[in-house]
């Protein structure tokens, strides 16, 4: 069933991993999806080709969330084309893992430019141009609330910022019928965090269900929150981590 038919969606960081799974799911649910990518042009083109062959409506656009204004240009074009949009998924993110003594302020700038500032930029645009009954879904991390290992301080800090942003926006945009929620993945098998890495066994030891999630687990939650039936869920945190934070 095409539950998102005639809905216009924007997914940042959509060429691979969790982002690509979200693009696929929203498109298969009937949405017209624009997604951004930075360097993964081949992956973005392959995703486009796959979904277009299924008769779905998708478009990949190269934009670096770390560069001020690039995401804004994508949103401006989207609005000029469609007039407004209905679904925003902020999936783009970066992780720079270092001992705290090795970090420099440029690491902070880069992490926060992608993980926080670009999310604020897209959410501000959504506040102005999103249709009533719109959906904003931010992708955070379970590390925002529990960091069981070292070398993730700045990343965890950036994802913690999304909690405050999500809750505040839920209050601001609720009267317009726009919901704002935060999905917090744990260990998901992607090229950024493969289930066969040297750190994987330790991650599994933290879980109540000791196995890595799949990108579809996150995409399924995003798809639910994007549905019309999710109109009473807002300002909420949905942690999908196999019980790591339980």
pLDDT tens digits, one per residue of 89-100: 999 999 999 999
| CATH among 3.40.50.970, 3.40.50.720, 3.40.50.300, 1.10.1760.20 for 8-240 | 3.40.50.720
CB-side exposure of 102: number of CA atoms within 13 Å?
Answer: 7
Q: What is the pLDDT of residue 46?
A: 98
Q: What is the pLDDT of residue 187?
A: 96
Q: Which residues are catalytic?
A: 155
pLDDT tens digits, one per residue of 79-120: 999 999 999 999 999 999 999 999 999 999 999 999 999 999
pLDDT tens digits, one per residue of 223-241: 999 999 999 999 999 999 9
Is the per-residue pLDDT at 183 higher than 90?
Answer: yes
pLDDT tens digits, one per residue of 51-80: 999 999 999 999 999 998 999 999 999 999
What's phi and psi for 72, nearest 5 deg? -60, -35
Percent of the chain with pLDDT over 90: 94
Asked whether the beta carbons of 4 and 26 are under 8 A apart, the reply is: yes
Q: What is the pLDDT of residue 6?
A: 95
Tell me the average pLDDT of the chain.
96
Q: What is the pLDDT of residue 149?
A: 87
Is the per-residue pLDDT at 1 higher than 80?
Answer: no
What would the mean pLDDT of 146-151 be, rounded to a whole number?
Answer: 90
First-last CA distance in the chain = 34
Is the per-residue pLDDT at 9 higher than 90?
Answer: yes
Closest CA to 159 of 101, 66, 95: 95
Is the per-residue pLDDT at 214 higher than 80?
Answer: yes
Q: Where are the domains of the chain?
A: 8-240
What would the mean pLDDT of 11-23 be, rounded to a whole number?
Answer: 98
What would the mean pLDDT of 7-12 be, rounded to a whole number?
Answer: 98
Record the tokens describing residue 192, joined without a space.
């950024």
Q: What does the buried/exposed string (b/e) look like for 74-111 if buried means 16 or more CB atoms within 10 Å of the residue's CB?
A: bbeebbeeeeebbbbbbbbbbbeeeeeeebeeebeeeb
Q: What is the pLDDT of residue 192?
A: 87
Record the tokens describing residue 198, joined without a space.
């040297």
pTM: 0.96
């Amino acid at each position: 069933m095409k539950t998102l038919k005639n809905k216009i969606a924007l997914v940042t960081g959509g060429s691979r991993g969790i982002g690509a799974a979200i693009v696929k799911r929203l498109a298969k649910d009937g949405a017209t999806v624009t997604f951004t990518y930075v360097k993964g042009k081949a992956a973005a083109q392959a995703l486009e080709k796959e979904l277009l062959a299924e008769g779905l409506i998708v478009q990949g656009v190269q934009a670096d969330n770390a560069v001020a204004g690039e995401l804004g240009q994508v949103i401006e074009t989207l609005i000029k084309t469609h007039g407004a949009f209905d679904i925003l998924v902020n999936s783009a993110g970066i992780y720079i893992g270092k001992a705290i003594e090795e970090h420099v302020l440029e690491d902070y700038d880069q992490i926060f430019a992608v993980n926080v500032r670009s999310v604020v930029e897209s959410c501000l645009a959504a506040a102005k141009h999103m249709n009533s009954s719109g959906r904003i879904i931010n992708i955070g991390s379970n590390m925002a609330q529990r960091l069981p290992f070292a070398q993730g301080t700045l990343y965890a800090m950036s994802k913690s910022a999304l909690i405050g942003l999500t809750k505040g926006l839920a209050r601001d945009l609720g009267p317009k019928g726009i919901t704002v929620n935060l999905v917090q993945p744990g260990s998901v098998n992607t090229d950024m965090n493969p289930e066969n890495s040297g750190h994987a066994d330790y991650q599994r030891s933290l879980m109540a269900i000791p196995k890595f999630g799949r990108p579809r687990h996150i995409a399924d939650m995003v798809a639910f929150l994007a549905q019309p039936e999710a109109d009473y869920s807002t300002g909420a945190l949905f942690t999908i981590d196999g019980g790591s934070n339980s």
